Amino acid sequence: MRHPTTRAIHADPGREARLQALLAAGGGLRWRAAVAGAGVAGTLLYAATEFGLLGMQFVDGLGNLGSALVMMLPPSGYDQLPTFGWALLETVAMALLGTALAAALAAPLALLAARTTCPLGILQFGFRRFADSLRALDYLIWALVFVRAVGLGPLAGILAIAVVDLGTLIKLFSEAIDNTPRGPVEGVRATGGRRLDQVLYGMAPQVLPTMVSAALYMWESNTRSATILGIVGAGGIGYYLADRLRVYEWGEASLLILLILVAVYLIDIVASRLRARLIRGA
């Protein structure tokens, strides 16, 4: 018996011609790939020399790095565990509040950024770009800005997370809205529902699980981001970590790093459980 692939080849007469064209294109392609590869390799080599990767700075640094790692073991400062634990809790709480704030604002705004629900094309385009520009700047930049505006502490961190996530969630939510089947919405319209009814009864039941799942995912990833926001003074465990690293308290720093790793690991588990539950429940 013929192999199914062989049969498929014989069933497709245009394939031979396409294959020839592909092979001809392949030669030029290989040439272009070689040039591009050489360009990238050259740039990398230039950067490596420029930044001191290929020199004594790197070699000397490795020695320092080794001694830092040795000094990190064993972790110390267990008497400060209550303080560190509280800071960790603050980190998780910052991520939660920031994500919740962003989700609450993003849900209505996503309606304006979605192709199917936005009344004006130009408005939709504008909202998408607005969301993109919120996302273009990292959490830490926003945190720095908000520390200037509202002072040191977790509030700056919450606002930073909320702003970046607003960008991400508007994008994710509006894509979810665009991807819903139109049937239920049209059904509500056919029975005389207004626009709001169409959104509430035709669309919301379909997109809500996706939205909650996206928000949960953001919370999880935000907890990782929130661990470092303290480095610029925006609350959470990062403040202690940056502080201990700056004064070379290596033992305490390694304890803090361990705490962060454990917390991130636990959040991973909790969030994936919740997501699995949500998908089953929906």
Partner 1 sequence: MRPAGLGALLAHERARRRRGAVGLLVAAACLGGAAWVTDLDVTRVVDGLPKMGDFLGRLVPPVRLAHLRSDLAEWYWGLGTWLGLLGTTLLMALLATGLGTLGGGPLSFLAARNLSRGWVCWLTRRVLEIARAVPDLVWALVFVFAFGLGPLAGVLAIAVHSLGAQGKLFAEANENVDLQPVEGVRAAGGRWVDEIVYGVLPQVLPNFVSYTFWRLEINVRLATIIGFVGAGGIGVELYDAIALNYIADAGAILLLVVLTVFVIDAVSERLRLALAGLTDGGADGRPAPGRA
What distance in Å separates the CA atoms of residue 242 and residue 238, rounded to the nearest whole number? 6
227 binds partner 1 (CB under 8 A): yes
What distance in Å separates the CA atoms of residue 91 and residue 45, rounded to the nearest whole number? 40
CA dihedral 99, 100, 104, 109 (to 10 degrees): 0
Whether omega before 74 lies within 30 degrees of 0, making that bond cis, reads yes
102 binds partner 1 (CB under 8 A): no
279 binds partner 1 (CB under 8 A): no
x/- binding map, residues 37-76, to partner 1, per CB under 8 A? ---x--xx-xxx-xxxx---xx-xxx-xx--x--------
Q: What is the residue whose two structure tokens read 């039941």?
A: 205
Name the nearest CA neighbour of 253 among 69, 62, 67: 69
Q: Applying CB under 8 A, which of residues 75, 93, 201, 249 lies at the interface with partner 1? A: 93
φ/ψ region of 268 (left if φ > 0, alpha if ψ in -120 to 50, else beta) reads: alpha
Identify the three-state secondary structure at position 11. Answer: coil
Query: Closest CB to partner 1 among 111 and 229?
Result: 229
Name the DSSP letter for residue 4: H
Dihedrals φ, ψ of 214, to 5°? -65, -40
97 binds partner 1 (CB under 8 A): yes
CA dihedral 169, 173, 176, 182 (to 10 degrees): -170
Contact stretch for partner 1 (CB under 8 A) within 87-95, 115-123, 173-181, 196-204: 87-95
Residues ≥6 apart with Cβ < 8 Å to 224:
264
Q: How far is the CB of 188 from partner 1 (least distance, A)?
A: 20
Total residues interacting with partner 1, rule: CB under 8 A: 68
Instruction: Tell me the residue type at 164.
Output: V
Q: How far is the CB of 195 from partner 1 (least distance, A)?
A: 25
Q: Applying CB under 8 A, which of residues 109, 204, 264, 270 lies at the interface with partner 1? A: 264
Q: Quick check: 85 and 255 in contact, CB under 8 A? A: no
275 binds partner 1 (CB under 8 A): no
x/- binding map, residues 121-160, to partner 1, per CB under 8 A? -----------xx--xxx-xx--xxx-xxxx-xxx--x--
Q: How far is the CB of 103 from partner 1 (least distance, A)?
A: 11
Q: What is the residue whose two structure tokens read 């990062």?
A: 238
Which residues lie near partner 1 (CB under 8 A)? Answer: 29, 40, 43-44, 46-48, 50-53, 57-58, 60-62, 64-65, 68, 86, 89-90, 92-94, 96-97, 100, 132-133, 136-138, 140-141, 144-146, 148-151, 153-155, 158, 217, 220-221, 224, 227-228, 231-232, 235, 238, 241-242, 245-246, 248, 257, 260-261, 264-265, 268, 281
